[in-house]
């Protein structure tokens, strides 16, 4: 599944085309994706202006002039294709190219600026919904969602509060979307390496008995921000199905320090460790057993 930086690169690719445009027509080529479309979905979108295109965790949010928000999720294999001026480009970044088979084009947005935005999703795990802006945070999509890792709230103190008293492994807690939203396997592995923290360390050890942050919590907060910002700047990691809106592949996979580098030497200066792989909660974890404590 695309992670936060990949979704952000999709947003950046779609925004110049969608923001400020009105939706002339919506084609629904099937009755559902992961779930059924809301009642009168196409009719409620027709004629509406897209005021802004935002992101919350791994969701794309299109604010409409009706007061509704078009909530979109890529799922496992979803992507957006922009067709304009006789050209077509996929929005986002991927290691293995996204599907361009027209049989998987399930939702088509015809915009007032002449562009067409197509949602293609072979596995149909994507999602689209309409939610009033006033009800967004309380909606089924976001009511239990944690803090934004790139928001102003994330710092060592916040992590210490979230982690205090937790005996679960640090990596598992970071992957809990109810605590920090949008972090996935790749960037958690990378952030833990940058902060020199073991993925199996108990999360609660980053907080004092009084709930204050230990140095590791401060390092981790900085590392999370840095790795996400670096990945966004590189256009994402281009793993499996993620592709940018311009159809180009992301480059951050070339900057991986640990992810998918099993048996290779640790890149930290002065460290003579070798990257190992283990499985946690069914997901591959890559780490250095020497410098990550």
Compute φ and ψ for 231, nearest 5 degrees: -65, -40
Q: Is residue 146 pLDDT above 90, yes or no?
A: yes
Tell me the average pLDDT across 94-110: 80
Residue 255, token pair as written in the block = 């900057």
The whole-number average pLDDT for the span 161-169 is 97
pLDDT of residue 1: 67
What's the domain range around 170?
Answer: 156-287
Question: What CATH number corresponds to the domain at position 218?
Answer: 1.10.8.50
- Is pLDDT larger for residue 162 or for residue 92? 162
Positions marked catalytic? 2-3, 58, 283
**Which pLDDT does position 237 carry in this prediction?**
46
CB neighbours of 106 closer than 8 A, spacing ≥ 6?
28, 29, 30, 33, 119, 120, 121, 124, 126
Query: What's the domain count of the chain?
Result: 2
Percent of all residues in the chain with a pLDDT value above 70, rounded to a whole number: 90
Predicted TM-score of the model (pTM)? 0.87
Residue 293 has pLDDT above 70, yes or no: yes
Q: What is the mean pLDDT of residues 113-140?
A: 97
| Nearest Cα to Cα of residue 250 among 262, 259, 240, 258 | 240
* Residue 290 clears pLDDT 90, i.e. is over it: yes
Residues 13 and 80 in one domain: yes
The CATH number of residue 121's host domain is: 3.20.190.10
Q: What pLDDT band is residue 188 in, cutting at 50, 70 and 90?
A: very high
Domain membership of residue 248 (yes or no) is yes
């Amino acid at each position: 599944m695309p992670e936060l930086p990949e979704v952000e690169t999709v947003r950046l690719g779609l925004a110049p085309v969608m923001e400020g445009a009105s939706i002339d027509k919506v084609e629904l080529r099937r009755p559902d994706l992961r779930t059924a479309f809301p009642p009168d979905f196409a009719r409620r979108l027709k004629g509406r202006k897209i005021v802004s295109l935002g992101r919350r965790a791994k969701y794309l949010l299109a604010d409409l002039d009706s007061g509704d928000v078009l909530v979109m999720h890529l799922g496992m294999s979803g992507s957006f294709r922009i067709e304009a001026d006789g050209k077509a480009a996929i929005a986002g970044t991927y290691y293995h190219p996204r599907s361009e088979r027209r049989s998987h084009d399930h939702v088509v947005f015809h915009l007032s600026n002449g562009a067409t935005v197509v949602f293609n999703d072979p596995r149909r795990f994507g999602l689209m919904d309409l939610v009033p802006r006033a009800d967004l945070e309380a909606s089924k999509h976001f009511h239990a969602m944690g803090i934004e890792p790139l928001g102003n709230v994330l710092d060592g103190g916040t992590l210490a509060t979230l982690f205090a008293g937790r005996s679960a492994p640090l990596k598992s807690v970071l992957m809990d979307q109810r605590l920090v939203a949008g972090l996935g396997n790749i960037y958690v592995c990378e952030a833990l390496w940058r902060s020199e923290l073991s993925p199996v360390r108990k999360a609660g050890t980053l907080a004092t008995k009084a709930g204050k942050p230990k140095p590791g919590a401060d390092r981790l907060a900085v590392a999370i921000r840095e790795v996400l910002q670096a990945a966004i700047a590189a256009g994402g990691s281009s793993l499996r199905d993620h592709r940018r809106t311009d159809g180009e592949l992301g480059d951050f996979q070339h900057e991986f320090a640990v992810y998918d580098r099993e048996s290779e030497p640790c890149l930290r200066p002065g460290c003579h460790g070798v990257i190992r792989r283990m499985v946690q909660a069914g997901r591959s974890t890559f780490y250095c057993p020497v410098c990550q404590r």
